[in-house]
């Protein structure tokens, strides 16, 4: 278990798929995100404390490590995942791929909404609140199940239930 280093505050990060489209219903797109988080974790640029995937957005708590910046890690994460989503959609579903065409000066396709939310967690109490929020965010229900949702934590906190534990090693 990684120690929480409050000199470099953990951050609650939310990224949303363009126009809240449910791209993350498909596990293949969740796997793209997992692969990117694994890469960042293995290069030791971030520590991941918890995350949840919803059909159209993700929440995670991560902590940027010495020698890295929030802006650069966010940019790398969003750029890599967008490129991989683009390649997958082009190959697997060309008609759905066209739904991500945008009229922007700097791009033809866009997968993430601009300006993701990133909030510093300044205290252990706020950290615990956000971690609990990740675990208590109700995913869309269908027939009494919680489809298309993955969640995990890397740390054990009293009162927080771990669901669908996924190791990013």
Residue 145 sits at the vertex; the CA angle it makes with 141 and 151, to the nearest 5 degrees, is 85
Amino acid 9: pLDDT: 83
DSSP β-bridge partners for residue 74: none
Number of domains in the chain: 1
Within-domain flag for 28: yes
Within-domain flag for 159: no
* CATH of residue 22: 3.30.70.1290
DSSP β-bridge partners for residue 152: 51
Residue 27 and residue 25: Cα distance in Å, rounded?
A: 6
- Note down the domain range covering 25: 11-153
Query: Rounded to the nearest 5°, which phi and psi values hold at 24?
Result: -80, 10
Provide block-wise average pLDDT over 10 residues at a time, the chain (169 residues): 61 96 92 93 90 89 89 95 98 96 95 95 89 73 43 42 39
Amino acid 4: pLDDT: 54
Within-domain flag for 2: no
Within-domain flag for 113: yes
Within-domain flag for 138: yes
Amino acid 53: pLDDT: 85
Within-domain flag for 141: yes
Within-domain flag for 3: no
- Tell if the pTM clears 0.85, that is, is over it: no
Amino acid 135: pLDDT: 77
Within-domain flag for 1: no
Q: 108: burial class by Cβ within 10 Å (0-12, 13-18, 19+)? A: exposed
């Amino acid at each position: 278990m990684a120690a929480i280093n409050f000199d470099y505050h953990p951050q609650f990060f939310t990224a949303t798929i363009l126009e809240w489209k449910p791209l993350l219903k498909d596990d293949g797109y969740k796997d793209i995100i997992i692969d990117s988080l694994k890469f960042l974790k293995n290069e030791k640029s971030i520590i991941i404390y918890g995350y949840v995937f919803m059909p159209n957005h993700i929440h995670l708590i991560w902590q940027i490590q010495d020698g890295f910046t929030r802006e650069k890690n966010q940019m790398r994460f969003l750029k890599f995942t967008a490129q991989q989503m683009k390649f997958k959609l082009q190959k697997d579903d060309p008609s759905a791929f066209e739904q991500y065409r945008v009229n922007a000066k700097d791009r033809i396709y866009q997968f993430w909404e601009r300006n993701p939310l990133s909030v510093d967690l300044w205290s252990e109490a706020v950290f615990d609140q956000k971690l609990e929020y990740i675990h208590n965010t109700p995913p869309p229900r269908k027939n009494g199940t919680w489809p298309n949702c993955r969640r995990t934590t890397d740390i054990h906190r009293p009162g927080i239930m771990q669901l669908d534990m996924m190791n990013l090693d």
